[in-house]
Structures are given as C-alpha cells and as structure tokens.
Structure 1
Amino acid sequence: PQWDLVCTSRWKVPLEQTTHLLGWMLGSVAAGLACDRFGRRPTFVVSLVLAVPLGLSVALAVDFVMVLVARLLFGVALAGAFLSLYVARLELCDPPHRLGVTMVAGFFWIAGELLLPGLAMLCRDWRVLQGAVTMILALLAACWWCPALLLESPRWLLATRQLERARKTLQALAESSGSGSDDCSCHQESLLAELESLSEGSPQPRYHAVCEIFSTRVIWKNSVILGFAAFIGSGIRHCFTRNLAPHLPGFFSSYFVLVGTEAAACLFVCLTAERFGRRAILLLCTVLTGISSLLLLALTQYLLDLIVLTLSVVGITASHAVTMLSIFFASEVLPTVVRGAGLGLVMGASFVGKAAAPITAIPNSRGFFLHHVVFASFAILAVLSIMLLPESQGRSLPQPLQ
C-alpha cells in the first residue's frame, strides 16, 4: 500500500482525517473574520480560487507529510467558501424564506455526497478522484467570478455604513428583479434616493471585531449555547455510526445510511422548524439524541440487533438535525456586523466535535467508551441550556450589536 498505511502505521489514516477536519475548523474561523472585514463575496471568491491549487497539491503529493499539510490547507479553503456563501445566501432572504432556501442548499450538498461514491468508482484511484473534484471547483470558480451571479450582501454594506456600495448593489438587485408594480417601483426609487442623499457626506465604514460579542451578554450567551449544541451534534454522531458497521453489509451501505439520515434530518427541519419554531425543534432533536445515546450506552449488549440499529439511525438523524439547526439558529440571532465571525466560531465548534471521532478509531485505542460517556453527558447539559435561547422564527435579522 502507498506510504505503508497498514499494520503499525494504521494510525496515519485517522490522523489525516482529523487534520482535514481541523482545516475546516480553522477555515471557518478565519473566513468568518474575513467576511466581516472584507465582505461576503470577496471571501467566497478568494477561498474558491485558493481551493483549486490546494486541491491539485493534494493530488500531486509525494509523501504523507505533504498530504497532511495539503489536506489541512484544502480544508481551510473549502470552509471559507462554504461559510461565506452560507452567510451571503441567508442575508439575501426575507424571514419567511430563510429556512427553506438554506435547507434547499443543504439538499444540493447531500446530492453531491450521493454522487461521490459513483465518481470514486469511475476514477478508481484517489489521485484521479481528487483531481476530478478540483476540476469541478475550478469550473465553479470560473462561473462565480462574474459579479452578477453573487452580489455583495446589501445588509452587510448597510450595517457597516458603506452606503454608496449598498445603493449600487440594491439598484442592481432591483434591475435584475424587473420593474414590478408602480407602488413597488416608487418605493425602490425613494429608497435609493434616500441612500444616495445619506452617502453624500462620505461616511467612513465601521467594522466590528468578534471580541465585541463578549461585551453583550445576550449575544455571548446565545453564541456559546449554540456553539456547544453544534459541538455535541457533530461529536456524538460517531457513537451511533460505530453501531452501523456490524449490522450493515459493506462500506457503501453504512455510507448511504449516513447520507440518507442527513437528508431525512434536513427534510424534518425544513417541515417543522418553520411551523413550531427553531428552539422547540432544536430541543426535541437534542432530547432524542441524548436518549438514544444513553440507551445504547447502557443497554447495547441486552438489546436485539434491530433495536440497536433503529436507535443508531434515530440518533444519527437527530444529531444531524441538531448540528444544522444550531448553525442556522446562530445565523439568525447573531448581528449582521459580526455574523460571519460568530457563525465561524459556531461552525468551528462543530468541526472540533467531528474531529474527535477519527481519534477513537486509532488501533488499540480505548477512548471510544469515554468518548460516548462524555458526549452523552454533554447532550443532557445541552438540553438544559437550549431552553435559555430566544425564538428567532419570523423575525428580521439583527443588525447592530446593541
């Protein structure tokens, strides 16, 4: 095998997986800071462009150390593109459509995961597969370079007092959406005229640092709770997925069950969170995650295989819902001026939880039981803390820190 990743060197495989996930964590934090300082669109375009040479460097790696470094940096670039696009998409939506648009984007992500095994079967070699994925990213970078496909977030421009740029962006959006009714056209013209008059004094843009979150008690509390919930949702999933392998034939069966549960969680959140509220559904999914984990922790050896498999599938689905709803919930309660950095920290926490799973897969490791106990306990604590969150359903996105 290439680079001798078997027998006594099997520990290198989970090390590579953990390194890539840590790259996603670092990229989420760095891209969040860049989003609030330079804008959503520049961060997305730069991250996507950087992902192309970094992806090629993974495919052309000559030794294991080069693979580790390249995969780390590749994860940083992918996380930057994902986060900046997530924030820009959310800020362009009105309250009734925010959840639906975000979940539809999630289904596209899941569709890519479903197509990945087929692409891997066609490519056969991991270098060819990495090159194919990189070429897809290059095609996306070539398409998204056009400003008309992704405008800068007017909400962020207004929040940071970049009024002239906001006026031009809103004018471009109005022109692309068509003339509409006379009342709508008059309202748009009056809004653009008001922005033009306000921008005559050339006000200086005002940016905010992520550390300012800690000066506001409510925003700080919400960020910590949602980051903790995202950490639990991602970290506890390995406790359930480990039970799938003995009951399902082959690697692809377990993989498709994981992707299927992610799709089910996305559909469940889409159908329920808009009707019953974000907090109630997040609380329900966290309770289901905790109960499934505790039952498997205490009774696995006494339960029928079908019950173990059912509890595992329910736990995986609920943990997926906890993660995606925690991230979405955070994007709604964080102010626009620090939404990128705050959401980057929440996403980073979720990837820290996910990065803990490969470590327990190291041969001769005895950390799985402790991993399960700790995350099951954290899930119960998360249930208590989620009740302190406000409801964000149907509300406008907050703009300033106050």
Structure 2
Amino acid sequence: MTDYEAATAFLGEWGRFQRQVFFFACMTVIPNGFVGLSVVFVADTPPHRCLVPAQINLTAAWRNSSIPPEGEGREASSCSRYKLDELLSFSERGLLPGVDVNMSNVPKEGCLDGWEYDRSVYISTIVTEWDLVCDQSWRQPLTSSVFFCGVFTGSFISGQLSDRYGRKIVLFVTMAVQTVFTLIQVFSPSWAVFCALYFVVGMGQISNFVAAFVLGTEILGPRVRIIFSTAGVSLFFAAGYMFLPLCAFFIRDWRMLLLGLNLPGFLYVPFWWFIPESPRWLLSQGRVEEAEAIIRDAAKKNKTEPPTVIFSPLQKDAPPEEKKAHNICDLIRSRNIRRISVTLWLVWNTVSIAYFALSLNTANLHGDAYFNCFLSAVVEIPAYTLTWVIFQWCSRRPSLFSSLFTGGLFLLLIRFIPAHLSSLAIALEMTGKFAVTAAFAIVYAYTAELYPTVLRTTAVGTCSMASRIGSITAPFFIYLRSYSVSLPYILMGSLTVLTGLLSLLLPESYGMPLPDTITHMQRFPGCCQKTPYTLTHIEEGENTAERKT
C-alpha cells in the first residue's frame, strides 16, 4: 500500500469528490465546538447570597444587614448570614444595625434556608437549580471533569473501533450518541443524572471528531490534507464555538439552551450518503474491491478516466502487518514507537490543560461573559489560519515548539499585570489562547503524519485520550482562583513552556509521505538528528525478515 497516492493521482487534488469529502467531514465537526464548552453557560455560578425567608419578620434595615461582609473587598458573603434568631431579637427591640449593635459580635450561620441568586444574567443554570455552591461548589468543576472523563473513555475505545470496523460507521454512530444523549440530558431530574448523561455525551463528542479528522486526512491528497487537518476541521470547530455564546445570549435557561444547540444534530443524517469510507483503511483490511469502487465513483464525480487496474497486485496482496488487527499495545511495543508515543502523550496532555482551562475561564474574566466567550472563539480563527500557513511552508517540530513556548510565556506574564489593568490581562490571556490553539491544531495534524494507516486512528485517539487527563484537571486549575487569581496562570504557563522544549525531541514529518505500515515510521531522533529519517528498502526487508523469524 506504499504507492496509494501514486495509484490515485489520476483523481487530481481538488475535484468534486475531494470538495464533497472536505466540506461534509468538516461540517460534522461543528457540534464539537459547542457541546463540551456549553458548560461555560450551563454550569456558570451567578452572584448569590443566603436566602432570608420572607416569613421572618425583620425590619427593612435588619433584612438589608443580614449578610456579613467578607474578604479584602468587604463584599457580601455568599455562604453565610448573621444568625436569624439574634437579628429577630434585635429587630423586635427596635435596635439599629451598626448604631445600637456592633455587627462584628453577632454570631453567624450557614445558608440554612437555601440561596438567593442574581437572575439578571441567567434564568437558570445547573448551579442555581441544584444549589452547587458553597459546600457543594466542588461539584461545579467536577461536572466538566465528568464530561472529559467521558472524552477520555471515548478516545480509548473509538480509535480501536475505528481501526477495526471503519472510520465511517464510528463517525455516524458517535454523532448519533452525542445528539441523542444531549437531548435526554435536557430532562435530567438531578445533578447525578446530568453528569451520568454528560459522560456518555463526552464519549460521543471526541469519537466523532477523531473519526472525521482521520477519515478526511486519509482520503484527501497531500496539499488538501494539510488544509483539512489544520484550517479545515479547526475553523469549523471554531464556527461551532462562536455559535455557542450567540445562542446562549438569547437562551438564558440551561435546558432550553441544550435543546436549541442539539436539535440541528438530526440534520446530519443525510450526510451518510455523501461521506465515503476511507479507501486507505479498506485496503489495509484487504477489502480491495470496495476501495476500488469508491475510487471509481470518485473518478466519475471528478470526470476523469480511471485506469483498468487501480491498485497493483502488490497492494492487493497486502503484507501480514497490514491485514492483522492492531491495537493500543502496538503504540508501545517497540522502543522507537514507544518514545514517539510517550512524548506526544505528554505534549497533548499539556496543550489540553491550557486550551480547556482558558476556554472554561471566560466566565470569570472581567466584563460580559458572552462577549468574552465570543472573543475566545474569535481568536481561534486567525490561529487556525496561521496553522495552515505554517504547515504549508514550515517544519512541524519548530512550529509546535514556538507556539507552545509563546503561549506559555504570555500566560506567565499575566501574573505581573496589576488588578486595575484588567483589559491588558484579558489581552494577554487571549494572546496566550491564540498560541495554545495553534499548538492544538498543529499537534493534531502532526500526530496524523507520524503514525501509519494501520494505527492512525488508534494513535490519534490514544493521544486524545492522554490529553483528557489534562482536560479532566483543567476545571480544577480554574478552581485554584479561589486561592490565588494568578496561580492557574503560573502553573499553565510553566507547563506549556516546558512541554514546548520537550516537543523538540520528536521526529520531523514535513515533506514526508503518510506512512502506511509501522515499518514506514520514522525513528525517534531525540536532540541529535537534524534531518528526517526514513527506512531504506534494505532496512524494510530486514524488518520484514525479523518479523517472520
């Protein structure tokens, strides 16, 4: 299968067939932009204070003074109130707060009667509906972490299923799972049920993205593949992300928001007839007739004449490595692929921490939450465009390093910005988000170039699975704001800079054909090798002989 691209060169690079695959595969990625990040609005915590029941007969002065101030800003407490029995006693005696009574001596108690929430921004969120505040505030970041646990599980399962049963079937099954379970989520009676359904939605979300990404990468030609894997899927993802704050601005109830975001998912059903299976994958499974049928149909759409024999006998008699079933263990079986895999897992993990922590933090930034979320989505557009330009003319390894190092540096600079310069801090954070987003797009496409066809979806899925350790912890990076506002930026910035240095150990894939078998993979060069490495025909023969023995 080493001459697949040569065998299908007669199709051209950008005919009707390629445009159809490019557009429809990218379209399937749009829901991924808002499904996971909808938690920014669905689980946001509005200002709140302890509820003082209306039946408690307090004067207006004592009711207004029932919440104690706290913190350096002496703002009203969100989780405590003055003891109502004491206030009622003072009120009945005609005493005035702060005049006749020293409020610092009045005992306090928790919010025994619940909370009163500010409804000026949201009609309802899961936080206001199930009181995920104060002693239960840990449940709010855990909600996002449960989703990313589902993403972690989906990454582990879907890659292997896709390599075994096909890209197309996994793509559409997981799209259906994502849509149906999100709609069921709308009717959640409790936080626990919501999280259980959110876990399944997470499984479908990443599986859909990885399957679409790999399918398009394998079908499209070299030049169009670069556009698809960097700018294509990423820009459509960003379009979905930009749609989120626009939709949330007009729908302020969390149940109606989820319903409005996911009903369009049923429009993807007709896509089944427009997106073909990957011919590369079919060949790797020995299903040559099906692969040829797809290529001949593509030739008809492109108005080109296919040769009598598309795939040579060498390709039809695929070597044992291509026909045998591969699994996740193959990613660590040999020393070379193990080094590449472990390095990529660490890179993906850190990029995921930075990307999702910055995305989820938009509700905490100074100013309007909807505008900040939209701004966070908008900065991804030039980031993905830059990624496409970089991939066209630049080497992969220095591109990944520079984006990670730059992003980490800007995040570290935020801690030096005074509190009154909030606009400058937001500008630095968005610049860091820009660089981290570019790194995410680069590492996706870079990973697909390094691994062979027989393992590509498993590899991308496993790298995505490794990154979910980062995304699972990302909400708790934001939770650290309660201890120090600058602490999340220090941790994220340091990790991102160090990982940028680590990425310099990876092999270069610029200008290299996609590997189809494990023996076609490059060696892990570490710090010393400056030029790309490829196996010679002699070395391939030696590896084949070793496998037979």
Bigger shift: residues 205-214 or 356-365: 356-365
1-structure distance, mates of 2:361, 2:385: 24
Q: Are the structure 2 counterparts of residues 54 and 79 from structure 1 closer, same or farther at C-alpha, using a change threshold of 3 Å?
A: same
**1:36 and 1:287 mapped to 2: Cα distance?**
34
- In 2: Cα distance, 1:362 partner to 1:164 partner: 55
Structure 1 range deviating more: 365-374 or 250-259: 365-374
| Number of the residue aligned with 1:128 | 256
| Alignment equivalent of 1:41, drawn from 168, 171, 187 | 168
* Structure 1 residues 264 and 248, CA gap change in structure 2 (3 angstroms): farther
The reply on whether 1:296 has 2:414 as its aligned counterpart is: yes
1 or 2 for the larger relative contact order (CA 8 Å, sep ≥6)?
1
Distance 2:354 2:134 in 1: 28
- In the alignment, the residues of structure 2 paired with residue 173 and residue 219 of structure 1 have an alpha-carbon distance, to the nearest angstrom, of 34
Larger Rg: 2
**Partner Cα distance (2:256, 2:422) in 1:** 39
Q: Which amino acid aligns with 2:409?
A: I
Local SS of the residue matching 1:191: coil
Q: Deviations over 1:203-239 (max 9, x none)?
A: 9942211211212333322222222222212213467
Alpha-carbon deviation of 1:275? Answer: 1.1
Give CA deviations for 1:43-77 in whole Å, capped at 9, x if unaligned.
11211222233122201111111100001101111
Which residue in 2 is equivalent to 1:25? 152
SS at match of 1:190: coil
Please state if 1:258 is matched with 2:386.
no
1:150 aligns with 2:150: no
Query: 1:207 is aligned with what amino acid?
Result: A
Identity of aligned residues (%): 24
Looking at structure 2, the residues matched to 134 and 91 of structure 1 have their Cα atoms a distance apart, in angstroms, of 28
Shift of 1:373: 4.5
Distance 1:125 1:244 in 2: 19
Tell me if the contact between 1:161 and 1:206 (Cα under 8 Å) persists in the aligned partners: no
Runs of at least 5 residues in structure 1 that lack an aligned partner in the other structure: 180-184
Q: Which piece of structure 1 moves more, 346-355 or 255-264?
A: 346-355
Give the Cα separation in 1 of the matches to 2:315 and 2:414.
Answer: 64
Q: Which residue of 1 aligns with 2:184?
A: 57
Provide the rounded CA distance (Å) in 2 between the counterparts of 1:110 and 1:290.
21
- So what's the TM-score if we normalise by structure 1? 0.87
After superposition, the C-alpha distances for 1:226-257 in whole angstroms (9 at most, x for unaligned) are 22222212213467679877764110122122
Q: Return the alpha-carbon distance in structure 2 between the equivalents of residues 197 and 347 of structure 1.
A: 31
Kept after mapping to 2: 8 A contact 1:225/1:382: no
| Separation in 2, partners of 1:196, 1:390 | 29
1:182 maps to which residue? none
Pairing 1:176–2:295 present: no
Task: Give the unaligned 5+ runs of structure 2.
Answer: 1-127, 520-549
State the number of aligned residues: 389
Kindly indicate which of the two structures has a greater share of residues assigned to helix.
1
Question: Could you tell me which amino acid in structure 1 is paired with residue 309 of structure 2?
Answer: S
Answer yes or no: is 1:82 the counterpart of 2:200: no
Give 3-state SS (helix, strand or coil) of 2:309's partner.
helix
Change (3 A) 1:144 1:247: closer
For 1:243 and 1:214, the matched residues in 2 are separated by 35
Alignment of 1:220-235 (within 5 A): 220-235=338-353
Alignment of 1:113 with 2:241, yes or no, is yes
Match status 1:191 vs 2:317: no
Shifted more, 239-248 versus 374-383: the winner is: 239-248
The reply to whether residue 390 of structure 1 matches residue 507 of structure 2 is yes
Is 2:212 aligned against 1:212? Answer: no
1:272 correspondence with 2:390: yes
Is the contact made by 1:29 and 1:345 (CA closer than 8 Å) also made in structure 2? yes
Shift of 1:117: 2.2
> What is the DSSP-based 3-state SS (H/G/I as helix, E as strand, rest coil) of the residue aligned with 2:387?
helix
| TM-score normalised according to structure 2 size | 0.65
1:162 pairs with 2:290:
no
CA contact (8 A) 2:247 2:257 kept: yes
CA distance in 2 between counterparts of 1:105 and 1:381 reads 28
